[in-house]
Structure 1
Amino acid sequence: MLAGGMAGMIAKSAIAPLDRVKILFQANNPKYQRYAGTLTGVFKAGRDIQRTGGLKGLFQGNSATLFRIFPYAAIKFMAYEQYRTLLMPSRRDETPYKKLIAGSLAGVTSVFFTYPLDLIRVRLAYETTATSYTTLVSKIYSEPAGNHRPMPSWLPQPKISNFYRGFFCSIAGMVPYAGVSFYTHDILQEFCRDRIPWTLKAKQNRGLPDQNGDYSRLELKTVAELGCGGIAGAVAMTVSYPLEVVRRQMQVAGALNPKVFLGMWETATRLYASKGPRGFFVGLSIGYLKVTPMVAVSFTVYERMKALLSIN
């Protein structure tokens, strides 16, 4: 958990300005919509944020991000190792299907415990004026749950339900994202170890066999780890991005119209009606700019932390 939490914090801090711009685009913030849809718009929006809020403006919401990302990444990586061990106790038991299942379950587990923190982070980034963490939490809690349709009785009820806007959309997106991310990363690591010898560190890094006779995997060089993580992040982002856009729309719905609670299907339908198919990919270029280095740094730091902490 320590290794995963540190990996998440370092990776998220590295791309915090891009993350804020992407959220502003995804949520259709009227002040920045004129920049959406172009690669140069990313930098123009960042320039405007820096002019009005300084360097602090580019990192608005990052403290909430770090507060959330440590438990999120810690749970995700820890859960993946546990699910992987449960489903694949030895190298002989490994299959692509089981790797996908392990990654998806890890993603769902981490989201289940940390979703309210993610919603607060998104709302902080969406606000164009400085807003404190405690003020925003109080504001979200005091918002009416809305009368669009009643909340299912088995969901957290108002006003706690305000912190779970877009939860099921998040789960739906996390299943392919986490599953594909972990699966692609593992496949690329194995490819490097088997086919590209120069990516390996010295063979002295080989560990002792475990109870099943397996040896710990050889460590990859940093550039190879970054490459594996970056490609894994880009592939996972492409697969799950439309659901992420719908989730962001649902999360900021309380700021736009707190009296209406829209479900995932209603949100997707309205987005399609107003933006067409392209609306589900708004900010994807920023997503690549953000996710590729973030996942690359995350996996690399995680692997290095495991080595530092002597985790086989």
Structure 2
Amino acid sequence: GQWWSPPVEPAAVEAPLKRCASRRICTELFSGGVAGCIAKTATAPLARLTVLAQTSSLLAPSAAVPGCLVAGFADAGIVRGLQHIVRCEGPGGLWRGNVCTLVHRFPFTGVTFLAVEVSNRVFSQTIQRHWWGKLVPGAVAACTATVACYPLEVVRTRRMAEVGARCMPPQSWHSSLLQLILREGPRGMYRGVGLALAVTVPSLATSFGAYTKIKDFSVARGLSESSFLVSFLAGGIAGALGSAVTFPIDVLRRRCQVMGMDASVPTRSWTQEAWHIMRSDGVAGFWRGIFPEMAKVFPTVALTFMTYEQLRFVAKKYRL
């Protein structure tokens, strides 16, 4: 007789698909979050030195502890700057603000990689064949993650910028966040968010675009897509390019984020602050902290991409 099978209920098909989609989303969020946390912890001393160099001249008038003058970070080299932190606060000072960094970085990096993955699926291959099409997923991810996690970034920057008198008494990241919300409200929580987008969007767009291009180039020459070397080098080069493009704006962003942290820190608009830097330090003022930033960004982004790719590979291999 004629072979016949009963119709498949739509729900029977949709349920596994939904489970598969949920698992993929969780994998992207977890892989991205863990990758970001590992990379940030490994390079936290250089990150803190960068923030101190960027904000030191703004915070210097209120540093009140002898031997821990914030201005000392403005022109210090990498080794001298790290030694200065250890003398002021002990070895733990190198990782000051790292807990808040992890609280910020896990959702930020997870959302970033998830948004890139979704964008890659949403935008057609026709768009992504153009050079500018490679930048779109990173730009979408940057907007999403920056706005979602920005108040935590403000708290993180302030914690890292604290030196001397501001370090006493120590305050937990959630207390700092609550204080920011209650004392300064939405304006303080999102102070400098426009600058943050001006930094993060081109930086991540360049990073992800360059990463995809370099990885495709490497795979075309016979290297494995999941290779440690491919992920590390592609991520590091992409990160350095992305950071170099936007560093002067990043200086303004950091300085705006620390404004209002206490009464002695002046509050200015970003345009006023730009003129202030130009008048007091000249063009060089917009590049303060570039050396620790460049020393930090290559391993940070390289470790992030490499760890992310390896975690995805493991999840796919073992169907996690």
TM-score where L is the length of structure 1: 0.82
d(CA) in 1 for partners of 2:128 and 2:229? 29
Q: What's 1:87 paired with?
A: 123
Q: What's 1:268 paired with?
A: 274
Q: What's 1:306 paired with?
A: 312
Q: Which SS does the other structure have where 1:310 is aligned?
A: helix
d(CA) in 2 for partners of 1:135 and 1:56? 20
Higher helix share: 2
Q: Which SS does the other structure have where 1:255 is aligned?
A: coil
Q: What's 1:250 paired with?
A: 256
Report the CA distance between 1:55 and its aligned residue.
Answer: 2.2
Report the CA distance between 1:140 and its aligned residue.
Answer: 3.0
**Bigger Rg over Cα:** 2
Q: What's 2:211 paired with?
A: 185
Q: Alignment partner for residue 71 of structure 2, among 28, 33, 36?
A: 33
Q: Provide runs of 4+ in structure 1 moved above 6 Å.
A: none
Indicate how the Cα distance of structure 1 residues 270 and 301 shifts in structure 2: closer, same or farther if over 3 A, else same: same
Indicate conservation of the 8 Å contact 1:241/1:281, yes or no.
Answer: yes
Q: Alignment partner for residue 164 of structure 1, among 190, 193, 203?
A: 190
d(CA) in 1 for partners of 2:289 and 2:266? 25
Indicate how the Cα distance of structure 1 residues 53 and 307 shifts in structure 2: closer, same or farther if over 3 A, else same: same
Unmatched 5+ stretches in structure 1: 144-157, 202-217
d(CA) in 1 for partners of 2:193 and 2:48? 20
Identity %: 29
Asked if 1:132 corresponds to 2:164, the answer is: no
Indicate conservation of the 8 Å contact 2:142/2:200, yes or no.
Answer: yes
d(CA) in 2 for partners of 1:251 and 1:92? 36
Report the CA distance between 1:93 and its aligned residue.
Answer: 4.9
1:236-293 per-residue CA deviation (whole Å, 9 max, x = no partner) reads 1110111110000101111365786432222222221221111111100111011110
Q: What's 2:25 paired with?
A: none
d(CA) in 2 for partners of 1:98 and 1:82? 14
d(CA) in 1 for partners of 2:216 and 2:130? 13
Q: What's 2:233 paired with?
A: 227
Indicate conservation of the 8 Å contact 1:35/1:42, yes or no.
Answer: no
Indicate how the Cα distance of structure 1 residues 303 and 259 shifts in structure 2: closer, same or farther if over 3 A, else same: closer
Indicate conservation of the 8 Å contact 1:80/1:105, yes or no.
Answer: yes
Indicate conservation of the 8 Å contact 2:237/2:298, yes or no.
Answer: yes
Write the mapping of 1:113-132 to structure 2, written as runs, cut at 5 A.
Answer: 113-128=148-163, 129-130=167-168, 131-132=170-171
d(CA) in 1 for partners of 2:128 and 2:296? 34
Q: What's 2:18 paired with?
A: none
